[in-house]
Structure 1
Amino acid sequence: MNQHTTPSCHAGTQQPGAQPSRDQQPEPANQDVYTHGHHASVLRSHMARTAENSATYLIPHLTHGLSVLDVGSGPGTITADFARLVAPGQAVGIDRSPEVVAAATALAREQHLSNLSFEMGDVYKLNFPNDSFDVVHAHQVLQHLSDPVAALKEMRRVAKPGGIVAVRDADFHGMFWYPQLPEMEQWMSLYQQVARHNQAEPDAGRRLLHWVQAAGFTDITPSSTTWLYATADERTWLAGVWADRVTGSTFAEQAIAYGLADTATLQHISAAWRSWGSAPDGWFAMPNGEVIARA
């Protein structure tokens, strides 16, 4: 997975009503619907993420002794890298899935990271006092939330004054690929419909600056990084992940339950992904918006 930078795993629940100020705790929340779920194909993708390939924009800001909260930390691979970068400072990851938290906790033990811990958490109601962390990070989380601005306000609440809130999200309509198989165009349309049915925003990358400003931040540094899949190994990996996800994940279950697709349609889309993966001239680019915001 190659990256080209141009300067410039989900922990959410839906929160109704007015949003809290920096000094107020938010009210209890209702759960959002996670479009991807925790199917093996999804976790296979999340396990491939590292600070180097998914948080390059943040790494220069991480120094020894800082405290980091990783929101929606999933299997914990990025969080583990953060723990190494800020040691002896503490890194904490939160996720709403107990199974995923257990797997991440096991990872911390396996890697002997005593400054790393994971726990259940809700991005709309973080279980930490005001001004708790030097860095609050969320990777590919805001795109799955029904109220990303509320989440950003809560992330800002637990960040220390002058601390960093760092967010990075893909932009699905910004993705492009070759060969341009019609079934993959169908995949994009279906993904947009499923995500929006869940009151989520799949084209989150282009909206990050707007959301961060709406959350009250004024000291903001935007950037963009692209995941590129163009080698044979990269194509095979990405095609396998999405071919399996289209037929076996929560996304597939939702597409059928919402009346947006049937099993035959999903199988055709899955086959198209595998066909793209075997194309010697295959190319897939995924743009990601990024923001460093000072609390």
Structure 2
Amino acid sequence: MGPGHTAVDLGCGPRGALDLLAARVAPGGRVVGVDADPVHVEMAAGFAAERGVPGVEVVEADARRTGLPSDAFDLVHTRTLLVNVPDPENVVAEAVRLARPGGQVASLEPDCEYDLVHPPHPAIDRIREIFPVVFARNGADPQVGRRVPQLFRDAGLTDVQVDAAVEVFPIGHTRRTVLLDLVRSMRSHAVELGLADEAELDRLDAEGRAHLDDPRVVVLSHPFFQVCGRKPA
């Protein structure tokens, strides 16, 4: 992908990869951001305008049914989208439809089964038990990362390439407490499902954050699978 090409960022959220993609297709290229949340659409459009990012348009649409033309983009990109939706194969099918023949589909998705906090702590271990159950309550798969290569192949993409990466989150990194933050945001669902009561969740959150506030504690992310494939010409 290079100058003059087109790209679409499905599930772009408040900013996604819009600036990175725009830099790759400049000059003369076009980037479309897609998100179903009108608040995110407004934020993403504002981000592009404030940064002076050229050639960016943001539209409100479901990533499974965007309404955008078929065979229109040199690159279709998703990042941490498939992990949040049930039936992610529907998003992949839409991504393939949008890609031009010979174009690429690329995805970065987490696989949340493995991460590392060292030394370990009982509160973190308990949060790890709660998270996958409450996260998957609507059919989302917290371990989707490992499935993406096969989802791509099943959708007809060829030359599927796979890589994986992990990251160490030091003190001050916004994702050092991501597991605690996610469970905090899903607190009401955890209680409704009978996974924990409010008192236990308060205790786990406080003890877990106190542990992660220690700079001697090593926090390693779960793996992120980087997958790309090509639509047959």
TM-score (norm: length of structure 2): 0.91
Q: C-alpha separation between the residues in 2 aligned to 1:221 and 1:71? A: 20
* Deviation >6 Å, runs of 4+: none
Shift of 1:241: 5.1
Instruction: Structure 1 unaligned segments of length 5 or more: list them.
Output: 1-61
Matched, 1:291 2:221: no
Q: Is the 8 A contact 1:243 1:271 kept in 2?
A: no
Secondary structure in structure 1 of the residue aligned to 2:161: strand
Equivalent residue letter for 2:206: A
Q: C-alpha separation between the residues in 2 aligned to 1:89 and 1:226? A: 31
Q: C-alpha separation between the residues in 2 aligned to 1:244 and 1:147? A: 25
Shift of 1:268: 2.0
Q: C-alpha separation between the residues in 2 aligned to 1:241 and 1:289? A: 18
Q: C-alpha separation between the residues in 1 aligned to 2:32 and 2:211? A: 38
Q: Which residue of 2 aligns with 1:225?
A: 165
Question: For residues 279 and 163 of structure 1, do their structure 2 counterparts lie closer, same or farther at Cα, with a shift above 3 Å needed?
Answer: same
Q: Pairwise mapping of residues 1-295 of structure 1 onto structure 2 (< 5 A)?
A: 62-87=1-26, 88-229=28-169, 231-234=170-173, 237-239=174-176, 242-247=179-184, 249=185, 251-286=186-221, 287-295=223-231
1:110-166 per-residue CA deviation (whole Å, 9 max, x = no partner) reads 111231111111121121111011000000111112111121111000100110100
Q: C-alpha separation between the residues in 1 aligned to 2:73 and 2:227? A: 17
Equivalent residue letter for 2:17: I
Q: Is the 8 A contact 2:127 2:179 kept in 1?
A: no
Instruction: Structure 2 unaligned segments of length 5 or more: list them.
Output: none
Q: C-alpha separation between the residues in 2 aligned to 1:96 and 1:252? A: 23
Q: Is the 8 A contact 1:96 1:122 kept in 2?
A: yes
Shift of 1:219: 1.7
Identity of aligned residues (%): 29
Equivalent residue letter for 1:99: V
1:222-279 per-residue CA deviation (whole Å, 9 max, x = no partner) reads 11111221x3333xx33455544433x2x22322233322222221222133123222
Q: C-alpha separation between the residues in 2 aligned to 1:145 and 1:129? A: 22
Equivalent residue letter for 2:151: W
Secondary structure in structure 1 of the residue aligned to 2:58: strand
TM-score (norm: length of structure 1): 0.73
Q: Which residue of 2 aligns with 1:33?
A: none
Secondary structure in structure 1 of the residue aligned to 2:113: helix
Secondary structure in structure 2 of the residue aligned to 1:118: strand
Count residues with an aligned counterpart: 229
Deviates more, 1:128-137 or 1:110-119: 110-119
Higher normalized contact order (CA 8 Å, seq sep 6+, divided by chain length)? 1
Equivalent residue letter for 2:183: V
Shift of 1:82: 1.2
Equivalent residue letter for 2:157: F
Q: Is the 8 A contact 1:67 1:133 kept in 2?
A: yes
Secondary structure in structure 2 of the residue aligned to 1:227: coil
